[in-house]
């Protein structure tokens, strides 16, 4: 640009070029999302340049008509499995639709590509289900094997259960089943559980992965509810930026322990936007919540909550999973909020799940 100004000629960093680049980027995103050809209508005038370095560089691009063309271009459709430019780790899940037939499919543990497929479902939908089959030694064995495959490390005991009055829940492989002798408001009751993320006292995003392994299903009910909270938030920040901003305030949501004899709480944002464009989630809507309406304006926060609550009833963002014996549900606790429907046991069908939490994101070698 400086050389162009000195020599009195048009520079390349023009508004027309910027518009063309922006329109091309938008066309690529539309072509990927909608699987159709998109024509980029804008063009720009190429300025001439006699600098030898420029010509040497350009010669390295010889044969590339796209590098030389400044006219109208066409972005071809992208079909089959949808892949999007990586702007943030949660970008694919922004575009998930939970009413699609493939969402919630069972992946056979014995299939050659089972773990690759499960990782793909985690990236695209925020959760995946693995059918382990018969001959399982123990729930802990299953969880250790799966965690080892994905490089999750050792399971984490949440901060709440490291406290003196809650140590009975500190085992990293936690059974979830009816126990009339226990007072835990979630683990030991057959009542439904409202939307939450695991890790009541953790900072947002600290617990990345939740795994639930089903030993036995209930006679009726006991479905796990799944809410694509980051996708709903992504939609909100486009539709109502002020409401979205209120949900990212540093102290928008305080969560307080409801365990008998435990006085503990942690305040933090409901969502946090990462430098790479990703979003992490802490959306919870149950009796542990104290909403700070001084974060932004009360009206902004209330609009954001109203939007999210409506999204939890929208099949594009919310679904449910009924786990059978030997099935394993893995989900991104830093993207997804979850809950549970009430259930009923019988002597032959007593619901029993085992849960483990992990602080590392999943990956395959």
What tens digit of pLDDT does each residue of 241-253 get?
A: 999 999 999 999 9
- 337-340 vs 106-108, strand pairing mode: unpaired
Radius of gyration over alpha carbons of the chain, in Å?
Answer: 25
Name the percent of the chain lying above pLDDT 90: 68
Q: What angle do CA 60, 62, 63 make, to 5 degrees?
A: 145
The Cα-based distances of 233 to 27, 87, 299, 317 in angstroms read 23, 16, 17, 10
Q: How many CA atoms lie within 13 A of 89 on its CB side?
A: 17
pLDDT of 86 reads 33
- 321-360 b/e with 16+ CB inside 10 Å = b? bebeebbbbbbbbbbbbbbbbebebeeebebbbbbbbbbe
Q: Rounded to whole angstroms, how far apart are CA atoms 224 and 77?
A: 36
pLDDT of 316 reads 98
Q: Rounded to whole angstroms, how far apart are CA atoms 173 and 140?
A: 7
pLDDT of 75 reads 53
Q: Give the residue, 272 or 22, on which the prediction is more confident.
A: 272
Q: Which residues contact 37 (CB under 8 A, 6 or more apart)?
A: 31, 74, 75, 76, 77
Most confident of 30-39, 80-89, 162-171: 162-171
Coil/strand/helix, residue 111: coil
Q: What angle do CA 272, 104, 199 make, to 5 degrees?
A: 35
Nearest Cα neighbor of 222 from 327, 115, 93 is: 327
Q: What is the pLDDT of residues 10-58, one digit of tens each?
A: 777 777 777 778 778 776 765 554 444 556 767 766 555 444 443 443 3
Q: Which two tokens stand for residue 297?
A: 């304006």
The Cα-based distances of 108 to 140, 141, 180, 352, 364 in angstroms read 19, 17, 35, 21, 17
pLDDT band at 90 (very low <50, low <70, confident <90, very high): low
pLDDT of 85 reads 33
**Straight-line distance from the first to the last Cα atom of the chain, in angstroms, rounded to the nearest whole number:** 45
List, as own/partner pairs, every contact residues 111-114 make where C-beta atoms lie below 8 angstroms and the sequence separation is at least 24, other chains included: none
Instruction: Work out the average pLDDT over 264-279.
Output: 93
pLDDT of 84 reads 29
Question: Helices in the chain by DSSP H: which ranges?
Answer: 2-7, 15-34, 52-59, 65-68, 91-94, 114-125, 139-149, 229-239, 241-247, 298-311
């Amino acid at each position: 640009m400086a050389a162009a100004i000195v020599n009195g000629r048009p520079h390349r960093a023009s508004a027309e070029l910027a518009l063309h680049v922006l329109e091309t980027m938008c066309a690529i995103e539309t072509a990927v999302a909608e699987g159709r050809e998109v024509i980029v209508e804008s063009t720009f005038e190429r300025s001439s340049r006699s600098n030898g370095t420029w010509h040497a560089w350009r010669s390295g691009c010889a044969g590339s008509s796209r590098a030389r063309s400044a006219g109208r271009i066409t972005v071809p459709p992208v079909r089959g499995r949808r892949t999007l430019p990586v702007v943030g780790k949660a970008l694919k899940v922004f575009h998930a639709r939970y009413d699609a037939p493939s969402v919630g499919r069972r992946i056979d543990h014995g299939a050659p590509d089972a773990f690759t497929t499960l990782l793909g479902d985690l990236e695209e939908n925020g959760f995946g289900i693995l059918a382990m089959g018969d001959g399982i030694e123990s729930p802990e064995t299953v969880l250790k094997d799966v965690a080892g495959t994905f490089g999750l490390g050792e399971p984490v005991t949440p901060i709440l259960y490291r406290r003196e009055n809650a140590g009975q829940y500190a085992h990293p492989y936690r059974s979830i089943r009816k126990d009339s002798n226990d007072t835990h408001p979630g683990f030991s009751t057959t009542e439904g559980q409202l939307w939450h993320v695991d890790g009541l006292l953790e900072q947002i995003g600290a617990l990345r992965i939740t795994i639930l392994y089903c030993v036995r299903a209930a006679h009726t009910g006991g479905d796990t509810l799944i809410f694509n909270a980051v996708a709903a938030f992504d939609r909100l920040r486009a539709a109502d930026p002020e409401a979205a901003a209120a949900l990212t305030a540093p102290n928008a949501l305080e969560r307080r322990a409801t365990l008998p004899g435990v006085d503990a709480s942690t305040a933090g944002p409901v969502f946090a936007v990462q430098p790479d464009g990703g979003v992490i989630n802490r959306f919870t809507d149950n009796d542990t919540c104290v909403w700070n309406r001084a974060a932004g304006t009360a009206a902004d926060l209330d609009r954001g909550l109203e939007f999210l609550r409506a999204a939890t009833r929208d099949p594009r963002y919310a679904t449910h999973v009924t786990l059978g014996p030997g099935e394993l549900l893995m989900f991104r606790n830093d993207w997804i909020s979850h809950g549970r429907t009430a259930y009923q046991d019988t002597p032959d069908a007593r619901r029993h799940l085992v849960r483990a939490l992990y602080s590392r994101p999943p990956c395959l070698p």
